[in-house]
Structure 1
């Protein structure tokens, strides 16, 4: 059985600019070969058992040669694998996707192209620059600043006299030469120029000048690759059309969640949010008949309750077994989630109660050691470490003690040594106390609900 190769565009950097079909293909993939410039959070959308291969390329250095990448794509597909070649931007916009597609076609490999949003357009928009505008430019031209080794030169005479916007990709090493060539072939010295680094991301930076001074401005403001070079009158609109939000420039780590509610709230305010992975909760065999012997049920966390429901259903029962029993939630957050799931609690910990009348439902170990403990699930730890440098982040959010433990489990030794540079936002007192023992630069306790936590994050970074 032959597999399939998907040449997938990841977009310009922001993980939400991935297409819906792209997200689905990542979930279906057996193997993902990814580039350096993709947002590592996209890898959170892959299946647990997917093989992830870093073939990232850096300027003047190829971690894996293109010929080897081509060979890997063919071999994986011939082994019957569903392969995703995850490339920054769009595969067919200076991404060598066309070359890879030719190889796959020549080798008889089943393949498809899923376009991505190119930085040549989206990167400009993120900096307030429309690539076309009726009053400024009616056309645009996307040009590579990176030439083949044979020394083939661009047709500068033609480029310099094009009407419209010029966008140079992969051209930072040639910026001075680009400006000189445009001037020497007749371009007005005062033509506006913008350089945008890390477009659509938290670390986005831009400088605006003209053909005579942009190189000096780039040096002054320490702008480097990856960056876009934009030449044309549309650059004048940048300040007017730039959209500013309260959390612009803030980079946060949040737990991965299928619903992504916290992620959405933060990104809507301008933050860049990336994921740390959660451990998978696997049900364990439990004798739930012991429930009948106790008058009070303490539920440690939402995961425990979900596993309890599944256990009941597998045994032909439902929540009616809880009739007449006192229900106690481990904390306010658990109580809120149980209410949303149709169960109203009688009390919230801490409470005074006889240990002989209580059974605690939990995961790996009891949180309160009160009465009898029923272990409902175990956690299977991911083999992958967190794919980020912690120095890049402004803070990390912990909705639960379990999420804190999952985060710490995903760190290697070097990452653990950088916790002191990171602020921790905790959603509850018990989580706050646990985080304070971990070495974060600051632990900020928030109310145990998403909206209040987001407001606290806004307040914190507004002060900074």
Structure 2
């Protein structure tokens, strides 16, 4: 517990629990209160890192005044608060305004950077966004969507977060700015999460693709020649489509378990669960794993994830409960005593030979 209370704004990455930084994971493990939006950050991220007695607050269900009251309470009670933001906290989410508010309230304030959604989307498709003649990328937030045509005139790679319901207006501004209908576009929604959608398409087909996948919420669009899909060698009988989404990995056992356990808390009113601890995590039997085939390679332990688990354990255990390591005492084994030998120091006498008797 700090002397004045602390608020840390953590960039939680694109959503997957293992794409958060080690520092971000440590801050969550230290927090008394975690403010997050389940629709933006995977439930597994909170489940894996938050303490069992931490207070979870759904950001989408509270008002700005209630968030301010949480900050005031943290200052008065010297609590540690973590507010999770999708991607990198430095590229949106109103962090600056909240940062300045916490400073005025006398709180310690920290911002922990994270993996941005743009970086995660580029990694997902294996493209370098600056691999063009212009070698630059324009980042557009939802607030600057009105200037799409102005930035489109630069004819460079564009990364724009736009509401899926306004895709038609977005396409019109792209065409006004000079992009052709054949310009490659990547649609990225909930990248790295179990229900992610990543689609390669074009400006001309963008609106129909968004409607097909029913993407009405804010979605990331990567526009430009740099995001063109690589050419794949397929058989003559294979069929391909420009709007075929890349399949996401199936949710892991921990992800399904976390979603079912935290969804119950999320659906409850905030006032009814302010002081309610989340369920214990070690009270459920872990189902037996399906044995891998004999020819399957054995997965090596992830050193980064092992480091996160070690950090969690060191933070969650109070210092006084950490028993000191026993000192190694080396005891010399008692050697058996050699047998006693009685020796004489005087010279040894020569034996006297007796004369032989004659045969007579």
TM-score after normalising by structure 2: 0.65
Q: 1:46 aligns to what?
A: 50
Q: Which residue of 1 aligns with 2:14?
A: 12
Q: Which runs of 4+ in 1 moved over 6 A?
A: none
Decide whether aligned partners of structure 1 residues 47 and 276 sit closer, same or farther in structure 2, where only a CA change above 3 A counts. same
Aligned partner of 1:182 in structure 2 is: 174
Structure 2 CA distance, aligned partners of 1:106 and 1:454? 61
RMSD over equivalenced CA pairs, Å: 3.2
**Cα distance change of structure 1 residues 98 and 125 upon mapping to structure 2, 3 Å threshold:** same
Relative distance call for 1:223 and 1:110 in structure 2 (3 A) is: same
- How many Å apart are 1:90 and its aligned residue? 1.6
Q: Are 1:252 and 2:288 matched, yes or no?
A: no
Kindly report which structure 2 residues correspond to 1:256-405, keeping only aligned pairs within 5 A, or say none: 274=255, 276=257, 386-388=261-263
Q: Name the structure 1 match of 2:62.
A: 64
Task: List gaps (5 residues or longer) in structure 2.
Answer: 233-246, 265-280, 298-360
Deviation, structure 1 residue 122: 1.4
Q: Determine which structure has more spread, i.e. the larger CA radius of gyration.
A: 2
- Contact 1:204–1:249 under 8 Å retained in 2: no
More strand by proportion, 1 or 2?
A: 1
Q: Which residue of 2 aligns with 1:426?
A: 288
Cα distance, 1:131 vs structure 2 = 1.9
Following the alignment from structure 1 to structure 2, what is the Cα–Cα distance between the partners of residues 79 and 26?
18
C-alpha separation between the residues in 2 aligned to 1:156 and 1:50? 42
CA–CA separation in structure 1 for the residues paired with 2:80 and 2:152: 45
Tell whether the 8 Å contact from 1:120 to 1:169 is kept in structure 2 after alignment: no
Per-residue deviation, 1:28? 1.1
The higher relative CO (CA closer than 8 Å, separation ≥ 6) is in 2
Structure 1 residue 75: Cα displacement: 2.4
Whether the aligned pair in 1 keeps the contact of 2:4 and 2:106 (CA below 8 Å) is: no
Cα 1:197–1:224 change in 2 (3 A) is farther
Task: Find the counterpart in structure 2 of residue 145 from structure 1.
Answer: 142
Aligned ranges 1:109-128 → 2 under 5 Å = 109-128=107-126
Query: Gaps spanning 5+ residues in structure 1: where?
Result: 58-62, 148-152, 241-246, 255-273, 278-383, 390-402, 409-424, 428-445, 457-464
C-alpha contact (below 8 Å) 2:163/2:216 kept by paired residues: no
Q: What are the Cα deviations for residues 401-434 of structure 1, in whole angstroms up to 9, with x where unaligned?
A: xx997169xxxxxxxxxxxxxxxx634xxxxxxx
Q: SS of the counterpart of 2:186?
A: strand
Equivalence for 2:90: 92
For residues 180 and 170 of structure 1, the distance between their equivalents in structure 2, rounded to whole angstroms, comes to: 13
**TM-score of the aligned structures, taking structure 1 as reference length:** 0.51
